[in-house]
Structure 1
Amino acid sequence: MKKSFERTTRRGFALSIRYILFLLVLASTIEGNANGQWAPLVADSSAASRIQWWRDAKFGLFIHWGLYAIPGRGEWIQWDEQIPNGEYAKLADEFHPEKFDPDAWAATAKNAGMKYVVLTSRHHDGFALFDDPKSNFTSVKSAAHKDIVVDYVTAVRKAGLRVGLYYSPLDWRYPGFFFPDIYQANALEMRDQYHRQLNELASHYGKLDIVWFDGGGANWLGFGGVQFKGGWHARPKDENYTGTFSWKDEEALSSLRSLQPSVIVNDRTDAPADFRSREGDGAMGAFENHYPWELCSTITEGAWGYQPDAKVKSFDSIIRLLVGAVGRDGNFLLNVGARPDGQIDPLQVQRLKEVGSWLHNYGDSIYGTRGGPYLPGDYGVSTYHDKTIYLHILNRPEKRLRLPPLQAKLISCSSPTGEHAQCTQTVAGVDIVLAENPTGNAPVDTIVALSIASPASDIAQISTKADTPATAPVAADIKK
């Protein structure tokens, strides 16, 4: 990085008193909003069939990439360090991704056993990785002179993976986002950009399978907002913005769905969504099979955007997150932050390859399954497909695992992970005795497959008396 930029990054804006007050209350509101879910769910007749492929896919790759990769301090660097818009925009002149290889990205996802990919087409800083004829802040008009999205979608489709794009209506360059009533004309310009760019993406890049929204809706509008009722204070976390400005999300998504009839979207606008989002390791939560949902998290212990010294999470912790989400009847979207030159860090690629090897061996217990019928507990989680129940034993007992009664006849049991499993069914429950793994190494997930005489989908959920997360140590949630 240029020294002049380094000097300016921490200098900040000449803030008004009211804006300083706003910054003081922001910290107390943004964490609650970041994990918030506010959109209603779709109720049309084709909703279930539209999302079925996604529910079967289970595992996807999230890629955060933009100008923020250049300084390498996370995707929120402009906001966190209060970098003036003009200074931040100069990064576009340094955007030279000489090693950008979308085919390599797609191969990384495929080798990891992932079935879909989601790329940040535009983050909160407003820099678009696609062409927008009405904006100068795009990759096409940067030093790269390249439409990143068109190359990305071509490579992902060619690899046989599903195509997803992240898009944020929020744009830090617009004061109308922070104070939409005072700066309403500016807020309307921001809304016009949102609708226009969404139509650009839906019209010029072929079939899109997922649009992953962030930063939109009345929940985030104004970053929690500042109100004056007997003194300045933050808008309460459980209250949405109620001023005169509207994103007109339903209008935007109606246009999106007319152009992309099979697209699925998440719940971070105010328009009806196909699935809900849980963000960060700590948001794993409880079992939920009444609607589709997805846990998103990072492969590193740090921000979502590239950080050169970020520690890569262990193989065991990633498997626990994947299995924990699927066993709770959700999906798992695992993020990498690409380097400024366009490459994914080799250590992250290696970790993803290790996960892919595990899925190559044990993917039958993940892909095309549903969570249950045994609910999550101290032992771990369960999944099922047809007449097979897979017990994912994440916290292995010394010798025997005893589970509550199973309302189906148990025919046989086996262990895909190589242990000798002996199962006994009585009216009191199911007892599983596990011999030591012949390799001498206890796997992170001991899998026991129970073959039953009738479809597992006919069995009601079975409480294990400890419906608590059985995941890896929780890292602090990171803003996306």
Structure 2
Amino acid sequence: MIKRYLLLSIAILCCTSFAFSQKRIGYEKPGDQEKRLAWWTNDRFGMFIHWGLYALPARHEWVKKYEKLTNEDYQKYFEQFNPDLYNPKEWAKAAKAAGMKYAVITTKHHEGFCMFDSKFTDYKATNTPAKRDLIKEWVEAFRAEGLKVGFYYSLLDWHHPDFTVDKHHPQQPANNSDTAYARLNQGKDMSKYREYLHNQVRELLTNYGKIDIMWLDFSYPGKNGKGHDDWGSEELMKMMHKLQPGIIVDNRLDLDDYEDGFDFVTPEQVVVSDWPTVNGKKVAWETCQTFSGSWGYHRDEDSWKSPNQLLQLLIGSVSKGGNLLLNVGPTARGLFDYRAKDALGAMGEWMQLNSRSIYGCTQAPDEFKAPPGTMLTYNPATRKLYVHVLVWPFGKLVLPGFNQKVKYVQFLHDNSEIKYLGRENQGSNDLVLTLPVKKPLVEIPVIELTLR
């Protein structure tokens, strides 16, 4: 994923309005986008999987950049890559048990290594001791569990000989001088890499059946950067929609000038404070988050989020009309490590009882304000409002302005009734819920309100 110093700028871009001309690439009719996104905005919760050669050094997926490794330095990981315990059926079952409805896997990350059997390179899983198309098995396993499938593909490639050295490249010159870049890029031809990129995306969207999501990462236009011209983004978008008319695509192709240049925005590793807008209009969005501080498997990294924090990320996203894509970084042997399994298990335990407050839900109508220590989600089809209680109150919970708007209240985890009383006779329009003094044995209790 992108470097940390870019995260704030991405978040600001995604969470504020900005103007763009109403140009269109023109691969579909206006209004078709909402139909393509319908399943995704309903399902709300997906699994991201970052897996590649970087699982062997186990020091972050950007280890090649951070340690300025050459292709020759990195070759030992290619020669040793043999995930002998890889069983994508187990991954798919874990994702489903956690309450996830779709998944996105790295087919190629910035290191340039392909997890799939591409005819355009020898730098692929089938030429390692693994000797397998790892993506083919993964797609089949996740589809078998009823999960939608998506491909992450890095626009960057630190292995390809024609990918020019830039500010994110492992061989970035220390002085960043134009002369140094020119010397390093002598003989490189980005047009050849661009053709390679398009050929591989075509393979991914042709050889594996129906693909639901294409997650391309990432653009950084400007001096010593790369943007839509480098990737051929307009042509790439047209090709993807021609090959897979129902596919949805993220916003990292540097096509913000086009009304149909993306389907959803992607604030990364940030808590979104308000529903993101583009040109003053709310847009579909998904925050991608990690269990810890790394996307790829990082053996010694120890900043793992608690189950409560992870649930708040999920609830908070839905409460502002968005999705959560939660990342797992498998080990080099092909397993989810114990910390990932524990986190997924905790999410699944909560979702088993409380998923009605997530699936099909969105931001609550403006007339309903969340009391302190709570978050609201709303299902417009069932007219159910959900109060997620983050801080347990002492016996009473006051819902300001809710009186005369509610006809039944219950806990979601067991459907047990909650008694309530209006305060209209006291000059108030509040609703007061009578709660047990002791918090229920649920990580974050949810109260379901049936509206009048």
Give the TM-score, by structure 2 length. Answer: 0.82
Cα distance in 1, alignment partners of residues 321 and 410 from structure 2: 23
2:104 pairs with one of 118, 135, 140: 118
Aligned to 1:168: 154
Q: Aligned runs of 1:333-344 on 2, under 5 Å?
A: 333-344=325-336
How do 1:256-405 and structure 2 match up within 5 A?
A: 256-271=240-255, 272-280=261-269, 282-288=270-276, 290-299=282-291, 301-311=292-302, 312-373=304-365, 374=368, 378-385=372-379, 386-405=382-401
Q: Counterparts of 1:197-276 in structure 2 under 5 Å?
A: 197-216=200-219, 220-221=220-221, 225=223, 245-271=229-255, 272-276=261-265
Matched, 1:130 2:116: yes
Cα distance, 1:414–1:121 mapped onto 2, change above 3 Å = same
Corresponding position of 1:80: 66
Shift of 1:44: 2.8
Count matched residues.
406
Correspondence list, 1:47-126, <5 A: 47-126=33-112
**What CA RMSD, in Å, does the superposition of the two structures yield over aligned residues?**
2.9
Contact kept? 1:102, 1:151, Cα under 8 Å? yes
Instruction: Tell me the secondary structure at the aligned position of residue 127 of structure 2.
Output: coil
Shift in Å at residue 206 of structure 1?
Answer: 0.6
Question: Which residue does 2:174 correspond to in 1?
Answer: none
For residues 350-391 of structure 1, the C-alpha deviation after alignment (integer angstroms, 9 at most, x for no partner) is: 321221121111111111111212356633221112221111
**Identical amino acids, percent of aligned pairs:** 31
Inter-partner Cα distance in structure 1 for 2:113 and 2:235: 23
Q: 2:388–2:445: 8 Å Cα contact kept in structure 1?
A: yes
* Contact residue 171 and residue 177 of structure 1 kept, 8 A: no
Deviation at 1:394, TM superposition (A): 1.5
| Post-superposition offset of 1:57 | 0.6
Q: CA deviation at 1:428?
A: 3.5
The structure 2 residue matched to 1:424, chosen from 421, 424, 427, is 421
- Give unmatched runs, 5+ long, in structure 2: 168-177, 256-260
Paired with 2:206 and 2:13, the residues of 1 have a C-alpha distance of: 28
Alignment CA distance shift 1:328-1:262 (3 Å): same
Which residue is equivalent to 1:409?
Answer: 405
Q: Distance in 2 between matches of 1:28 and 1:321?
A: 19
Distance 1:53 1:245, change over 3 A: closer
How far off is 1:277 after superposition? 0.6
Distance 1:442 1:158 in 2: 33
Distance 1:151 1:61, change over 3 A: same
Q: What is the TM-score normalised by the length of structure 1?
A: 0.77
- The alpha carbon displacement at 1:35 in A equals 4.6
Secondary structure, counterpart of 1:127 in structure 2: coil
Deviations, residues 47-76 of structure 1 (Å, cap 9, x unaligned): 111111111111111111000000100101
Task: Report the residue type matching 2:247 in the other structure.
Answer: V
Give the CA deviation at 1:252: 0.6
Looking at structure 1, the residues matched to 370 and 295 of structure 2 have their Cα atoms a distance apart, in angstroms, of 28
Q: Where in structure 2 are the equivalents of 1:170-185 lying within 5 Å? A: 170-173=156-159, 176=164, 178=166, 182=182, 183=185, 185=188
Letter in 2 for 1:351: A
> What is the CA–CA distance in structure 1 between the aligned matches of 2:226 and 2:340, rounded to whole Å?
39
Give the SS at the match of 1:144.
coil
2:449 is the alignment partner of 1:450: yes
Counterpart amino acid of residue 423 in structure 1:
Y
- Provide closer, same or farther for how the CA distance between residues 211 and 277 of structure 1 changes in structure 2, counting only shifts above 3 A: same
Query: C-alpha separation between the residues in 2 aligned to 1:408 and 1:257?
Result: 48
In the aligned structure 2, how far is the partner of 1:396 from the partner of 1:429? 22
Pick which of 58-67 and 352-361 moved more. Answer: 352-361
Cα distance in structure 1, aligned partners of 2:128 and 2:226: 35
Instruction: Please give the alpha-carbon distance, in whole angstroms, between the structure 1 residues aligned to 2:421 and 2:434.
Output: 12
Distance change in 2, residues 1:407/1:206 (3 Å): farther
Q: Structure 1 residues 130 and 376 mapped into 2: Cα distance closer, same or farther (>3 Å)?
A: farther
Q: CA deviation at 1:142?
A: 2.0
Kindly provide the CA deviation profile for residues 284-325 of structure 1, in whole angstroms up to 9, marking residues without a partner as x: 3324582211111112x2211001233442221111111111
CA distance in 1, matches of 2:94, 2:441: 27
Measure how far apart 1:399 and its partner are: 3.8
Q: Distance in 2 between matches of 1:344 and 1:70?
A: 14
Between 53-62 and 400-409, the greater mean CA deviation after superposition: 400-409
